[in-house]
Amino acid sequence: MSLKRKGQKATIDLRNIVKRDFSYLAPNPDSANRPLWIDPDKGYIILERFHPLADLATDFLVTIAEPQSRPAFLHEYKITPHSLYAAVSVGLNGEDIISTLDKFLKTELPQTIKEFIRSCTKSYGKVKLVLKSNKYFVESSDADVLQTLLKDSIIGPLRVSGSDEITTTRAPALSGLVIPGTKNAAGAQQADLPQNMNKDTSESDHIEDILNDEDNDDDEEAVHAFEIPDSAVESVQKRCLDLSYPILEEYDFRCDNINPDLDIDLRPNTQIRPYQEKSLSKMFGNGRAKSGIIVLPCGAGKTLVGITAACTIRKGVIVLCTSSVSAVQWRNEFLKWSNINPEDITTFTSDSKEKFSGSTGIIVTTYSMVTNSRERAHDSKKMMDFLAGREWGLMLLDEVHVVPANMFRRVISSIKTHSKLGLTATLLREDDKIDHLNFLIGPKLYEANWMELSQQGHIAKVQCAEVWCSMPTVFYEQYLQVSSRMKRTLAAINPSKFQACQFLINYHEARGDKIIVFSDELYSLKLYAYKLKRYLIYGGTSQEERLRVLDHFRHNPEVNTLFLSKIGDTSLDLPEATCLIQISSQFGSRRQEAQRLGRILRAKRRNDEGFNAFFYSLVSKDTSEMHFASKRQAFLIDQGYAFKVITKLDGIEKTPDLAFSTPSEQKELLQGTLVDNETSVDDEFAADDLWGGEKTGGKGGKAKGKNTVKRVAGYLDQLSGVQDMAFIERNTSANKSLKRKKGEKSDFFKKIDRENKRRRNK
């Protein structure tokens, strides 16, 4: 809108409005009975969550589109090439998608969207890479597609010599494949029961049939294939992608008679939840194991999904985790939920390098152990040769989002596996590398709705709050003058924030909660833990100490609060935790915010009405933390969470022994912090990153814990003891006299001068 001077009429610029005007889309006569709107330009779809057909539409949209935002009443999805690729991978075709969208939309389906869907689905899923009898085959149900690939100048010569003919077989059907832990496995054969008994309209029947039949599209199709050598797999994948025929990876594990079977099954009393069953049905939809990614909230049972997949394939399994702590947890979960022989499952970490006893088994290791490019110890090298020298039926990749793409290529090239399953709660990164996972591992097979699982009681109901903490004048004056790194430290040790943390710890401990306090800023983490006399775990904490502290936190009623650095962001199983307080974070990372919320998302044993878990983010007012806090919350808000802003904690002034309550104490804290950080060396070394726990260092624990020697990065002048001193030259005249008096040259330089003089004379 452009405003005129007084007396003139205001005019409205309609150009921006016209750009978003979709009135040309003709509404359907029964549009009120349909739940979807569509943006024909950008492919966004809006779902009315309050509509009677919302549940059916949600199942369909999760299959064909990427969830963007899912608050209470309106959900937003986006159709992308990758989402359509995933839809094809579970059995849908372009015409199914178009016809079903037509039945859900309030308006006619725009022609541009139809063309986009057809262009993406005509090539996606046409070509598959299958490992049968330990040989790689490029498969397709369309013989013309294979002929196109064989005529290509790069793929054609890579065909295995002697296999000039294209083999033709029948695709396996899902019938006969039972996923452990489902109702079918328990004896209730649902396949023979009539589906959708109470539908009111034939339209709903048709949509339900499409969704139920999506995984069985190729039961009757013949498939054609040609063989390629192992060394050509990556080249063929890359070339097929360039030719717009991205390869799907599938494993026909039921016909694999070469690799030995693993004796493993879920325990009889284990039954997986409906959303876990749905995610696994996407993986095993056509009787084979598809490689791909399953996205479930923290605490929703990703580990059990991975274990069930291993029990379905029943071949050798390698599990990759982010730390040695999570590797131990994965092994314990396998023993808890399955009947695996303890001798058939081992860990490969810095502390344990054992092989399984039988011909096949499960090895749980970490990304860093497998991708380490430095010279290995003898035991590690032998173990790595063992991993690389055999074929694995399944590779489970825990927290798959955290690993950069170049590291994945090293994992995939060093370990030969038939199928890959990536597990994560947050399929996002602050860079664009997340897209690499679509072809390095596979498409996203399933993504659950956080709020829906919360309402059903599968995960905790969390109250999220942002607590604003004012900064004392003396602190803020210093904050405006120091470096950006020091600004982070001062914002974290803000006395008002410390008092808020102390108050919340006292309040929640009194009501029986188990509390986790997170800080990325190491100096503040130690200060809080030592001052409040609570346990802490950070990069310098030894592996033995970490496990001991975690065990105390889980089972000791006297230990109710635990301070954690960023090593606790992922793969830490603490189902007892009901309250989380965040005092410092990694700038605007949405992923870290969601991962930390996940520490308290596991369903709670007690049945409190309303919220039964609490997430507090303490933010120093008028600092950069305010800006980053809004960015960090974006992902959780899109999942339907609401952040309550608290500007004052009622009753905080009545807290006994409130720390830093006087100006003198606050000034002393400030001065001590400035002195301690003048020449500080951050000893949150490499062990406190993604691979925390692979190195052992100092000892964490209580405030009175004994310090041990550890290696840190630093400068030599910091060891001299004179880093705060300066050299002052007092007798300057002595230097002038030394310059005037020339010293006698050595015989060597005299000889050089004579030779130079001789050359000049010649």
Residue ranges of domains in the chain: 22-121, 127-188+220-448, 462-677, 732-761
Between CA 444 and CA 292 the distance in angstroms is: 6
Residue 670 in tokens: 């400030």
**Residue whose C-alpha is closest to residue 593's, from 426, 410, 432, 453:** 426
Q: Residue 464's beta-bridge partner residues?
A: 615, 643
pLDDT of residue 739: 60
Beta 44-48 vs 74-78: how paired, if at all? antiparallel
How many angstroms separate the first and last alpha carbons of the chain?
88
Between CA 753 and CA 748 the distance in angstroms is: 9
pLDDT of residue 261: 93
Read off the pLDDT of residues 389-440 as tens digits, 9 standing for 90 and up. Answer: 888 999 999 988 877 667 767 777 678 888 999 998 888 776 767 777 777 7
Equal CATH topology for 127-188+220-448 and 462-677: yes
Q: Which residue has the tokens 């010279």?
A: 375
pLDDT of residue 209: 58
Q: Computed over its alpha carbons, how large is the radius of gyration of the chain?
A: 31
Q: Which fold has domain 127-188+220-448?
A: Rossmann fold (3.40.50)
Say if residue 21 is exposed, middle or buried (CB neighbours under 10 Å; 0-12, 13-18, 19+): exposed
Residue type, 616: Y
pLDDT of residue 601: 83
Between CA 266 and CA 249 the distance in angstroms is: 26
Between CA 558 and CA 419 the distance in angstroms is: 45
3-state SS class at 493: coil
CATH of domain 462-677: 3.40.50.300
pLDDT of residue 129: 84
Q: Residue 582's beta-bridge partner residues?
A: 518, 617
Between CA 635 and CA 90 the distance in angstroms is: 27
3-state SS class at 181: coil
Beta 44-48 vs 36-38: how paired, if at all? antiparallel
pLDDT of residue 742: 63
Q: Along the chain (762 residues), what's the average pLDDT of each consecutive run of 10 residues? A: 41 52 82 90 90 90 89 90 83 89 91 90 81 78 87 89 61 64 59 40 55 51 81 80 81 87 92 92 86 89 94 95 87 94 91 86 91 76 86 91 70 82 82 74 87 86 90 91 88 92 93 90 91 90 87 90 83 80 80 80 65 87 85 81 88 85 89 78 40 38 46 54 54 61 73 85 78
Residue 420 in tokens: 């890959």
**Residue whose C-alpha is closest to residue 493's, from 680, 703, 659:** 659
Question: Exposure pattern of 281-308 as b/e (b: 16+ CB <10 Å)?
Answer: bbbbbbbbbbbbbbbbbbbbbbbbbbbb
Q: Between helices 378-388 and 405-414, what is the axis angle to 10°? A: 80
What order of strands is seen across the sheet that includes strand 416-424?
A: 345-348, 362-366, 317-321, 391-398, 416-424, 292-295, 444-447
Q: What is the DSSP letter of 604?
A: P
